[in-house]
Every structure is written in C-alpha cells, then in structure tokens.
Amino acid sequence: MKYTTLPSTNTRVSKICLGSMTWGNQNTELEGHAQLDYAFDQGVNFIDTAELYPVPATAETSGRTSKIIGTWIKKSGKRDKVVIASKIAGSGDYTAHIRTTGFRGNSIKGAIDVELERLQTDYIDLYQLHWPERDTNRFGVRDYKFDSKWEDNFNEILHSLDREIQAGRIRNVGISNENSWGTMRYLEESKKDNLPRVSTIQNAYSMLSRTFETDLAEVSLRENVGLLAYSPMAFGVLSGKYITGKAGESTRLKLFPRFSRYSGEQSTEAAKRYLKIAEANDLSLAQMSLAFVNQQPFVTSNIIGATNLEQLKENIASIDLTLSDDVLAQINEVHQVIPNPAI
C-alpha cells in the first residue's frame, strides 16, 4: 500500500480509501465486515462513510452503513489503527428524513452526536459537509443557476465545526461536491477568524468525469486541499462489465437504473474506447481506471467501492499499477475527442 497525509494535518492515510455506501443495502453486515478485514490486511487504513448511507437514501436505511462500521470497530478493536471519515448530509428533498435545517443552528452537533453512536467511537478523524447548502451546479448539473434565496453561512459552519474540534469529537474537516468558489470561501473564512482549515474535498473524478481538472485541480494544488476521489469507476461502467454484457442482475445499475449519470451514449462510447486501450496494453479496464486516478498529483486518496471480495481485491491491487506515459497519452486522446461525457 502507498500512504500520504491529509493536507495540513499529521493524519496518515492510505492512497486507497475503502468506500462503504452499499453496506446495509446491497451488502450485509457480514459482507461489510469481510471487506473491512480484507482491506485492512492489505494496508488500507482509511474508511469513508456518511449519515446518509447506504445509497439510495431512505428513512429506513439511513445510518446502517455507519452502524456496520461501528460493529466492526467494536469486534476488531482496531479503532486506533484506522482513519474514519464521515459526512453530514446537506439539505435537499431526498434528505428531509434526516433533517430540514441544513448545517445551521445545532445541526452539526446533533449529526455528530448520532454518528458517534453508530460508529461506536468518541471521535471522527475527518468530518465532511456532504454537499453545499446553496443550490449550485452539482450532481450531474452542468449549468450554474444563481440561488438568490440562500444566505451566506460559511463562517457559522466553521464556528460549529471548530466547537466540535475543541471538544475532541472531530479532528479534521472537509467538504464534498463543492466548487472552486465555495472552497476558496471556506479557506478565506478560516484565515479571517482562525477557524478550522478545510483539508480535503470529496468530489467525483474518473476518466468519464474530469471536470475537477478545469479549475478545482489548481485550487487543490495551490491551496493544499486534497481530492478524495469518489466514483473512480463511474458506478462500475469503467469495469467494462456493462459494455461486455457481463453485468449480473444484482449490479448497481441493474438494481437502480435511475443512477444513469455514467450510462449515456457518449459515456458508453468513451468507455468502449478506454476498454480497447486497456486490452491493447494487457490491463484490466478496472485497474487502468483506478490507476489513472491514483496517479493524479491532486489526489490524496482514491475511494473505491465493491459489492464482493473479488472486485475489492482487483480494486485494491490497482495501487501496484503505474500507467506508462504512452497509456496516459492514449487515455488523453479519448478525452480530447469525448471530454467529460459524465459530470
């Protein structure tokens, strides 16, 4: 395994982070524990969850994923050997079953109260805002529309997070599904009032969705805010199983066809071209896709997910693969022809 640190902290994390959003829905507690055991044995010490998980989000299942991690922590006794990241859900129609107040008032404190119980721990290593409160271009929306109803609360949020750090309940803070303006606002507010500094940004990034490179990559590198890349395999599209017709009925896109973000005509064509590159270079498309993300200079950790151990083994093994300049050039040629077919 390869390791790095969360930017501006002393927290050492594996370059591969174990994602968990299927646990409690597509995966049982037993399967979640098996994934945790295997990943830990391979040197993975970084685990990502959220109060919203598993996905799709429902009132019935909300929090199940963190509970599965909590029972593993209790059973294994490995709390001091792992770095746990979690997230507070932003406001939205599909999170009303969690809360309707966004990040305002005592929402952050209340969310941490419950999440600590689920995780069976007394602190969270990295606490993230799952997405902005303001309505901005995220989750598949290309065009920005101004949100005139939102009232600026960056400073209030950072003060709330600071209180939790001072209480020892969280150690570092991050953002997710954020853009350049929001990232810079958090950084400026932290300087102004000596508030917690955002260490990471968890956004989608893959060969089918490289919009992070347009401006956030520069923010990341110049301001030392590391990317925690999620959906690096584009909901499994970049495994090649949907292209080749090998996807089983229990796969994510078969079970939840509304998650079609990476399944459009252009995305499918791009994935086919990437598959040809992988095959021509004796690589699996999955490992090539993950290695591409692993090698980006702005990536702190690559969040991988799997619904079975065979997938997990292949995904974690991508850390041992370094793509040649020639393979990277071929990938970029496809990107020039079909840039960011999914966002």
Q: Which pLDDT belongs to residue 343?
A: 72
Determine the length of the chain. Answer: 343
Average pLDDT, 10 consecutive residues per value, the chain (343 residues): 98 98 96 98 98 93 97 98 96 85 94 98 98 80 81 96 98 97 97 95 97 96 98 93 72 62 90 97 97 98 96 97 98 97 85
Number of Cβ atoms within 10 Å of the Cβ of 102: 21
Which residues fall within 8 angstroms of residue 298, CB to CB, at 6 or more apart? Answer: 212, 217, 220, 221, 226, 227
Q: Which pLDDT belongs to residue 223?
A: 98
Q: Which pLDDT belongs to residue 262?
A: 84
Sign of the dihedral defined by the CA atoms of residues 228, 232, 236, 237, in that order: positive
d(CA 187, CA 184): 5
Phi/psi of residue 155, each to 5°?
-65, -45
**CATH no. of 3-233+296-321:** 3.20.20.100
Range list of H helices, 94-232? 107-119, 154-166, 180-193, 216-223
Cα angle for residues 23, 69, 229 (degrees, 5° grid): 70
Q: Which pLDDT belongs to residue 252?
A: 61
Q: Which pLDDT belongs to residue 90?
A: 86
205 is catalytic: no
Q: Which pLDDT belongs to residue 292?
A: 98
Cα angle for residues 254, 247, 66 (degrees, 5° grid): 60
Helix (H) or strand (E) holding 16: strand 16-19
Domain boundaries, the chain: 3-233+296-321
Catalytic, out of 38, 53, 186, 230: 53
Q: Which pLDDT belongs to residue 140?
A: 67
Strand partners, 301: 228
